[in-house]
Structure 1
Amino acid sequence: MSVYIKVNNKFVITSDQYQFILQEKKIAKSGKNAGREWLDIVGFYPTISKLVSGLVLHNILTGEARQFSDLEKQVEQLGQKCQEAFAANDH
């Protein structure tokens, strides 16, 4: 059984039999698929804790925080989105 969890409107977590895969939703800007959504692989993670760490790090590095208070808000919001996504997919 593979995993498919939408974290928010930007990230999706999937899996195969060996690992968890963090993917970022993107929209093709040109070519025959212009305007279509696709999933870009951010990374492969052997455990949930490493996946969450990878998601937080990626979010920090690509975010727009310019001071620690902004960074704190960004991490808190992502944590909330993760809790909501995992709770919604817990059945």
Structure 2
Amino acid sequence: MTDPSFHCKWSNKYFPHCNCVCLSEGHPYVEIIEQPKARGMRFSYKCEGRSAGSIPGEKSNDTTKTHPAIKVSVQATPTRAGGQRLQTRIL
């Protein structure tokens, strides 16, 4: 069930071409925390005989290695104080 009063803060910023309908309480949504590095590594097929390694994140540098990350959240039911409580997990 959609709630027209629920404003999706992500659709316009990250997906301007998308006509998203955000769902209200109890529905999961994904937020991209870190994108893959644009030209971080060339990936190969297994039959080529060498490992390609991990996917570097856009904030990776020579001293600090980061990886792409997303945050999966579920908007929970309102708390007694009337606010919204979010359950999140960063992957």
Scaled by the length of structure 2, the TM-score of the pair is: 0.31
Q: Please identify the structure whose Cα radius of gyration is greater.
A: 2
* Bigger share in helix: 1
